[in-house]
Amino acid sequence: MEQAVSPDVASAKPPQKKSRKKQLITIGVAIVVIGLTFAFILPKIADYRSVWDVISTLSWPSILALIGATILNIVTFAPPWMICLPKLGFVRSLVVTQASTATTYIAPGGAAPGMAVSFGMLRAWGFTSRQVAVTVAVLGVWNQMIIFGSVPFALALLALVGERDPLLQSFAIAGLVIFVGGVALFAAVMWSENLARWAGDTAARFTNWELHLIRRGPVKFGGHSLVGFRNDALDLLRRRWHVITLACLAGQLSMFLLLYVTVRVLGIGSSELLGVEIFAAWTVAKLIGSIPITPGGLGVVELGLTSLLVAFGAPRADAVAATLVYRTLTVVPTLVLGLIAAASWKHLSRGVEEAPATPG
């Protein structure tokens, strides 16, 4: 005998199916983009055999230079976390950055899965929810502002050397608008407690309205949550905004240094590609990679970076080789270290001192 299905249960199923369908579509789009990039588009730019001929010319000093730049890139991501959470220490900072970054390379959804991993690990190590939320939010905002602000900065540098690129100009305008808007919004919330409370209440009402459509419960956050975040963030930023900024800049620029070293050791000299042109191509690639089209921007970053390097004058085979080596050195070590971190991070919770009451 069939059992009657309640209206609530019946109405709850379609959103779940819709959510699963959306996930499948996202995964499908990512697979198509990655497949087209590596199987069709990059081979059209340069044959993989000629790309391998370029890579195979690497000497041992060049390989050691690449290894050194890769290690520097990895270790410079720990200091910002150490500054925001002094009791975290270098090892745990390195573990949380590698595990969270590795998650963004394998899970769809952009930075959200990595933030969730960071939150879970830090909470398990004894830090409070407010500490973790402030640290993740502040570092996320700082890194995104650097990414968006670096594109118009690169355009200004190109103008100084007499270079103009319409594509880069379009990205620079978009980056500048987002950068200015983001800074203004963050500054406004930090400036006024009433504005922070209004923004939190507005966000909660809008979220509850959306949840009501799929018959889900109301959220627990509100204006008071954003006010609490504001107070904690101000407490951290008043004392450490300058060192946080320098540490985040060092982490981002270490990635550019890795690309620069890769380009030069593969034989692309300054007569073919200026350092400022490499920087400009890197800024656009970082901006594209921050858009959650594929996990870690896989396929999208390679296509954008290669196209810009070729447009600035790099030989096609050399540009593809530099892009593939650079992406290999930024993704593969992090994936390996991320897996090791995922297997060992719980052991690092032993002997963790009680975390301070506020960030920093």
pTM: 0.81
| Model confidence at 351: pLDDT above 70 | no
Q: Which of 19-23, 142-146, 191-195 has the highest mean pLDDT?
A: 142-146
Residue 262 lies in a domain: yes
pLDDT for the residue numbered 249: 94
pLDDT for the residue numbered 11: 41
Which pLDDT tens digit goes with each residue over 265-288? 999 998 889 999 999 999 988 888
pLDDT for the residue numbered 218: 63
H-type alpha helices, the chain: 7-36, 42-45, 48-55, 60-75, 79-84, 89-106, 112-124, 129-160, 166-191, 193-213, 223-265, 275-289, 300-311, 316-344
Q: What is the CB neighbour count within 10 angstroms for residue 208?
A: 14
Residue 354 lies in a domain: no
Query: What phi, psi does 158 have (nearest 5°)?
Result: -65, -40
Q: What is the CB neighbour count within 10 angstroms for residue 18?
A: 11
Cβ partners under 8 Å of residue 64, min gap 6: none
Residue 14 lies in a domain: no
Closest CA to 270 of 280, 278, 262: 278
Question: Three-state DSSP class for 294?
Answer: coil
Residue 9 lies in a domain: no
Contact 219, 204 (CB under 8 A): yes
pLDDT for the residue numbered 271: 87
| Model confidence at 16: pLDDT above 80 | no
Total structural domains within the chain: 1
Helix pair 223-265, 275-289: axis angle to 10 deg: 140
Which pLDDT tens digit goes with each residue over 125-179? 888 888 888 888 888 888 888 888 888 888 888 888 777 666 666 766 766 676 6
Residue 70: domain span: 20-349
Between 260 and 231, the higher pLDDT residue: 260
Q: What is the rounded average pLDDT of the residues 100-124?
A: 81
Q: What DSSP string describes 183-223?
A: HHHHHHHHH-HHHHHHHHHHHHHHHHHHHHHTT-PPPS--H
Q: Please state, in angstroms and rounded to a whole number, the distance separating the CA atoms of residues 163 and 155.
A: 9
Q: Please state, in angstroms and rounded to a whole number, the distance separating the CA atoms of residues 223 and 225.
A: 5
Q: Please state, in angstroms and rounded to a whole number, the distance separating the CA atoms of residues 195 and 192.
A: 5
| Model confidence at 205: pLDDT above 70 | no
Q: What is the rounded average pLDDT of the residues 277-301?
A: 86
pLDDT for the residue numbered 62: 94
Residue 155 lies in a domain: yes
The mean of the pLDDT values for the chain is 80
Q: What is the rounded average pLDDT of the residues 243-257?
A: 94
If residue 231 lies in a helix (H) or strand (E), which one and from where to where?
Answer: helix 223-265
Residue 109 lies in a domain: yes
pLDDT for the residue numbered 155: 82
- Using 50, 70 and 90 to split pLDDT, how confident is the model at 196? low
* Residue 232 amino acid letter: D
Which pLDDT tens digit goes with each residue over 320-346? 999 999 999 999 999 999 888 888 777
Q: Please state, in angstroms and rounded to a whole number, the distance separating the CA atoms of residues 226 and 35.
A: 42
Q: Please state, in angstroms and rounded to a whole number, the distance separating the CA atoms of residues 193 and 230.
A: 8
- Using 50, 70 and 90 to split pLDDT, how confident is the model at 360? very low
